[in-house]
Amino acid sequence: MVTLFHTSPLLLDCGRPLSDVRVAYHSYGEAREEATLVLHALTGDSAVHEWWPDFLGEGRPLDPTRDYIVCANVLGGCAGTDGPAALGDIPISLRDMARVGRALLEHLGVRRVQIIGASMGGLLAYAWLLECPDLVMRAAVIGAPVRHSPWAVGLNSAARAAIRAAPGGEGLKVARQIAMLSYRSPQSLAATQTVQRRPGVHAVTSYLEYQGEKLLARFCERSYVTLTGAMDGFQPNDAELASIRTPVLAIGISSDVLYPAAEVRAGAAALPNATYWELDSIHGHDAFLMDAGELPGRVGAFLRGAAAES
């Protein structure tokens, strides 16, 4: 944990200044001036070793014996970094989060980074490329579009409406159920949700209920509203995207219904220096966590500077 913006405040995109911002982060490996920055997903946190074992470890894309790896909980989150409980329910943008990240890197003595982000972390990677192009050497963006689509905004809007309708927990559980349907796929649920756990209750129904309970036990509804708002507000125009000269590996997931592979591919085509690759999985958006397959190898090759084949 570190406190940043002590001597001069962070000016948020909404116009509000923030001082003494607490940021929770993990680092792995020996401190260096060049680092790999990991950007977590909506309900993720800075503990990469807990949620991405396929990626972190000796011989993996994030190798602490070779690299200095940093991951911070985002501004507005609820896993150590200041969020609505400390700041109130103010709008926060993905670019604000990148500015906090820049301050953290300065604090750590890091001068250049390569970035890897998935889902919300992938959107945030694009915000970094717009906000801090001087710092970023290359970016691997997994399962994320270049801007939040009406479809994705709609899903988040429905989730926030559930929270507003039933604050205090029930709404967050319904929000997670809606989101889970977009993180899985018809094929994935057909393959996994065949056996009833409770008599008379569809397997998928009790699965979604359980996922809602699980999120309620570890997440905060105010952060959910803040972070989904930040994602929905990320709408760079074509000229901004065309200004991104940094090499990008954009990765779509074949069965992703939240950010369809075709959308990710089209977004990559709008960037001057992006390569596209597709992860084949039936498990939908969360395949980057649950069914990584060739993904670590592809990302590792890109981060090592090797040309990834499309």
Ligand X SMILES: CC(=O)SCCNC(=O)CCNC(=O)[C@H](O)C(C)(C)COP(=O)(O)OP(=O)(O)OC[C@H]1O[C@@H](n2cnc3c(N)ncnc32)[C@H](O)[C@@H]1OP(=O)(O)O
Ligand Y SMILES: N[C@@H](CCO)C(=O)O
Q: Which of 27, 46, 93, 119 is catalytic?
A: 119
Question: Which of 18, 74, 120, 175 lies at the binding interface for ligand Y (CB under 6 A)?
Answer: 120
- Alpha-helical segments (H) within 109-169: 120-131, 150-165
HSE of 99, CA atoms in CB hemisphere, 13 A? 16
Is 200 in contact with 112 (CB distance < 8 Å)?
no
- Region from 11-19, 39-47, 100-108, 244-252 binding ligand X, contact rule CB under 6 A: 39-47
- Alpha-helical segments (H) within 26-93: 48-51, 84-87
281 lies in the binding site for ligand Y (CB under 6 A): no
Q: Please state, as a whole number, how many other Cβ atoms lie within 10 Å of the Cβ of residue 93.
A: 20
> CB under 8 Å to 298, separation ≥6 — which residues?
249, 251, 277, 279, 308
252 lies in the binding site for ligand Y (CB under 6 A): no
- CA 126 to chain CA centroid, nearest Å: 11
Is 22 in contact with 82 (CB distance < 8 Å)?
yes
43 lies in the binding site for ligand Y (CB under 6 A): yes
Name the binder of 210 from ligand Y, ligand X, none, CB < 5-8 A by kind. Answer: ligand X
Number of residues that bind ligand Y (CB under 6 A): 8
Q: Which is nearer to ligand Y, 179 or 274 (CB)?
A: 179
> Minimum distance from CB of 40 to ligand Y (Å)?
7
How does strand 10-11 pair with strand 17-18? Answer: antiparallel
51 lies in the binding site for ligand X (CB under 6 A): yes
107 catalytic per annotation: no
Q: Which of 45, 67, 82, 256 is catalytic?
A: 256
User: Per the structure block, which two tokens stand in for 257?
Assistant: 């219904």
Name the binder of 197 from ligand X, ligand Y, none, CB < 5-8 A by kind. Answer: ligand X
Q: Residues 205-234 vs ligand X: string with x where CB under 6 A?
A: -xx--x------------------------
> CB under 8 Å to 246, separation ≥6 — which residues?
129, 133, 136, 137, 138, 139, 273
Q: Among residue numbers 156 through 215, which ones bind ligand Y (CB under 6 A)?
A: 183
> Minimum distance from CB of 156 to ligand Y (Å)?
11
286 lies in the binding site for ligand X (CB under 6 A): yes
Name the binder of 187 from ligand Y, ligand X, none, CB < 5-8 A by kind. Answer: none
119 catalytic per annotation: yes
Mapped onto helix, strand or coil, the DSSP state of residue 170 is helix
Residue 32: exposure state from Cβ atoms within 10 A (0-12, 13-18, ≥19): middle
155 lies in the binding site for ligand Y (CB under 6 A): no
Mapped onto helix, strand or coil, the DSSP state of residue 250 is strand
127 lies in the binding site for ligand X (CB under 6 A): no
119 lies in the binding site for ligand Y (CB under 6 A): yes
- In terms of Cα–Cα distance, which of 64, 59, 57, 58 is closest to 36? 64
Q: How far apart are CA 175 and CA 183, in angstroms?
A: 12
Q: How far apart are CA 259 and CA 299, in angstroms?
A: 19
Question: Which of 13, 193, 233, 293 lies at the binding interface for ligand X (CB under 6 A)?
Answer: 193
Name the binder of 123 from ligand Y, ligand X, none, CB < 5-8 A by kind. Answer: none
Residues making up the annotated binding site are 176, 286
Q: Which residues bind ligand X (CB under 6 A)?
A: 40-41, 43-44, 51, 118, 121, 193, 197, 203, 206-207, 210, 286, 289-290
Kindly list the catalytic residues: 119, 256, 285
- The site for ligand Y (CB under 6 A) is made up of 41-44, 119-120, 183, 286
